[in-house]
Amino acid sequence: MNTFYVTTPIYYANSLPHLGHLYTMIVADSIARAKKQRGIDTYFLTGTDEHGINIERAAEKNGRTPKEQADYVVSYFTRMTSEFGLDTEHGGYDIFMRTTEPFHYEGVSELWRRVAKAKTPHGNDALYKGHYEGWFCAPCAEYKTEDEYQKPKNEGDPPTCLIHDTPLDRVSEESYFFRLSDYEEALLSAYERPDFVRPEARRNEVISFVRGGLQDLSVSRLKTSVSWGVPVPDDPAHTMYVWFDALTNYITAIGFGNEERQKAVGFEKFWPALHLVGKDILRFHAVYWPAFLLAAGVELPRAIVAHGMWLDPNGRKMSKTLGNTIELDVLQKHFSIDAIRYFCLREMVFGQDGRFGYEGLIDRANSDLASGLGNLSSRTLTMIARYCDSRIPSPVIPEDKLLLAKRTGVDTDETTIAGFIEHARNQFLLHFENLAFSRALETAWSVVARVDKMITDAKPWDLAKDENQKPTLSAVLYRAAESLRWLTVLLHPVMPGATHAIWSQLGMEGSPAHINPAELKWGQLKDGAAIGEVQPVFPRIDKVKTMSEINAGEKPVHATEADTAGAPATQPAPPMTHATEADAVGVTSFIEIDDFAKVDLRVGQVLSAERVPKADKLLLMKVDIGEEQPRQILAGIAQYYEPEKLVGRKVVIVANLKPRKLRGYESQGMVVAASYGEEGRPVIATFTEDVPNGARLK
């Protein structure tokens, strides 16, 4: 049977959820939805790692039991998954795994027993009792070797953790050791499978780490020093090392070592898994975990894939001290779930670090979603409502109208666009399968651009004026609607809510969640079927207003520290608010005259204008605004203005707009234009009286 198993890491229950957690969950959720859509029996795990000294300490500090402390943090995680539509109820994860579950204790104990009985490839016992002495970082929950700590300034002081900057504890105690040093060759041969550890750069890091020599791993602590954990089977004076316990969740969740889970899910059915991890915990997943599995005789994971980190828009690490973190409450309050999901997958080239800022999110949502997919959907459906009596029109142009249709410049051969979209679908699926989400989405947006251009070129609003061109109009609108159907199916795993809405507006039954994109066939959209009520799917976000609200720094609803005193988070979640729907006509918020004065508007005259190769929408212009050199300005108006006709025209230029590069050209300002109608048609502002170049507008 065709099955698939994807996991996020289980998150250590000593800090509250943040963007990093949300991101990995969104990625795993999108992968799981894509697999389910293709009819693959899929299991998606996320959860929390709840043992160890840190939780014990936090519990003590807050006057709770360790389990109560874990419950407290978990309540924030489950609230996040519910608010962001990632829980089972919303079609998300299949299990929120908790390592405090009794079945997990059973399963880990089983793995331990197997490892305890095993011989290494060199014929030694895989597990042995020894004595460990070393520098231990409690927050990291691991011993630190010389290259992993900061040597003390004064002799006699303890070294400090490079990650936490806190003094390390000198620990000496009896401990079980896992003979990791005997697994070097076995691990290196596992890495030969090129898709086992990804991406390539991370795989190379792991390989050189292992080649550098592996030390045996202490895998237990005395119960007297760490009591909050899984007891070592047959030796209750010891508690299992938290990573041995935590990593094993991936198999206990689906039934390893526990009959009930085995019946409910099925270890053989779903294992091996694709593990998504942050690059900071790659070593645990790509070295220790496979070694434990090798010892226990359990099949290795399908793949271990490390993603990058989110940096701020300036490329700095996010930290509370710098004040540049992205707050989940702010995301939840100001943005739709689909916009956040889209941004996460579009903006980070998977495997590399990405940059996350609220402004960037607004820009993406407005350009790609509101003006892109959303506009395509609403213009198509609005025209079907207006010109075709709200029914999907016929794709067929009758023989006797073909010549007439050809005269309008419309491609009468439907297979041209069908072929384009089929090719894009194949590319999209290939990129998605390779976890190249950003490229997959780029491909989908090439379809959006193509269909937009088809509509703009065909000018349905003109065709509608001529009764004889009715079949041409119908064919164009059918193609747009059918393309939209394909796009909603492709994009469903990324944006479940919005694609479902477009699907219903197209008049389709059921959900794109159950349509296999690989089996889409052009022309399956039935003509004559009634479309649904047309509604905007991605409202435009008022950037100024939203940013000023965000910057006003409303107090987050969530606490920011895990150890905040007080009752567990049982207060109801605030209502889900989607992005503010800015009224295109009304004034949304007032500004001071000083704010307006910041915009340097100048009279300019177009000296030259030409199309930009491979950019359908862009015109490259030279505009004289009374300075020594004319300004080079790019404007997205090529579909509406013949370049030759613009030369000599007086225009209004935003002269102090930060220059930016488009298609390799620097744009040194912006042409002011009105925008109207469902297709957002631009009309360049101009003057009816003569006015010198460079005159300021105020």
Which residues of the shown chain bind Zn ion in the complex (CB under 5 A)?
Answer: 137, 139-140, 161, 163-164
- Rounded Cα–Cα distance for residues 270 and 42 (Å): 8
161 is catalytic: yes
- Shortest distance, position 225 Cβ to Zn ion, whole Å: 17
275 is catalytic: no
**Residue 144 and residue 136 in contact, taking contact as beta carbons nearer than 8 Å:** yes
- Shortest distance, position 149 Cβ to Zn ion, whole Å: 9
Residue bearing tokens 């609403």: 378
Among candidate residues 104, 137, 307, 558, the one labeled active-site is 137
Which of 11/93 has CB closer to Zn ion?
Answer: 11
- Rounded Cα–Cα distance for residues 376 and 268 (Å): 45
- Shortest distance, position 218 Cβ to Zn ion, whole Å: 16
Q: How many CB atoms lie under 10 A from the CB of residue 505?
A: 23
137 is catalytic: yes
- Shortest distance, position 160 Cβ to Zn ion, whole Å: 9
Which of 163/544 has CB closer to Zn ion?
Answer: 163
- Shortest distance, position 137 Cβ to Zn ion, whole Å: 3
Q: Please state whether 576 falls in left (phi above 0), alpha (psi between -120 and 50) or beta.
A: beta
Q: Which of 686-691's residues contact partners 24+ apart within 8 Å by CB, and which partners?
A: 686/649, 686/650, 686/651, 686/652, 687/603, 687/650, 691/603, 691/650
**Residue 161 and residue 139 in contact, taking contact as beta carbons nearer than 8 Å:** yes
- Shortest distance, position 144 Cβ to Zn ion, whole Å: 7
Which of 320/526 has CB closer to Zn ion?
Answer: 320
- Rounded Cα–Cα distance for residues 283 and 456 (Å): 52
Which of 103/135 has CB closer to Zn ion?
Answer: 135
- Rounded Cα–Cα distance for residues 140 and 164 (Å): 8
- Rounded Cα–Cα distance for residues 442 and 486 (Å): 15
Structure letter (DSSP) for residue 391: B
Which of 36/144 has CB closer to Zn ion?
Answer: 144
Among candidate residues 164, 406, 514, 526, the one labeled active-site is 164
Which of 145/548 has CB closer to Zn ion?
Answer: 145
Strand (E) or helix (H) holding 624: strand 615-624
448: nearest Cα among 528, 333, 368, 340: 368
Among candidate residues 35, 36, 104, 161, the one labeled active-site is 161
**Residue 258 and residue 305 in contact, taking contact as beta carbons nearer than 8 Å:** no
Among candidate residues 140, 470, 543, 545, the one labeled active-site is 140
Q: How many CB atoms lie under 10 A from the CB of residue 463?
A: 23
Cis peptide, bond prior to residue 272, ω within 30 of zero = yes
45: nearest Cα among 111, 2, 94, 89: 94
344 is catalytic: no
**Which pair of structure tokens corresponds to residue 539?**
């409202």
Which of 148/411 has CB closer to Zn ion?
Answer: 148
Among candidate residues 129, 317, 526, 645, the one labeled active-site is 317
Among candidate residues 117, 122, 129, 320, the one labeled active-site is 320
388 is catalytic: no
- Shortest distance, position 166 Cβ to Zn ion, whole Å: 7
Which of 163/584 has CB closer to Zn ion?
Answer: 163
Among candidate residues 18, 35, 104, 492, the one labeled active-site is 18
**Which pair of structure tokens corresponds to residue 173?**
């105690």
- Shortest distance, position 135 Cβ to Zn ion, whole Å: 10
423 is catalytic: no
Q: Are strands 160-161 and 142-144 parallel, antiparallel or unpaired?
A: unpaired
- Rounded Cα–Cα distance for residues 601 and 657 (Å): 10
**Residues known to be catalytic:** 18, 21, 137, 140, 161, 164, 317, 320
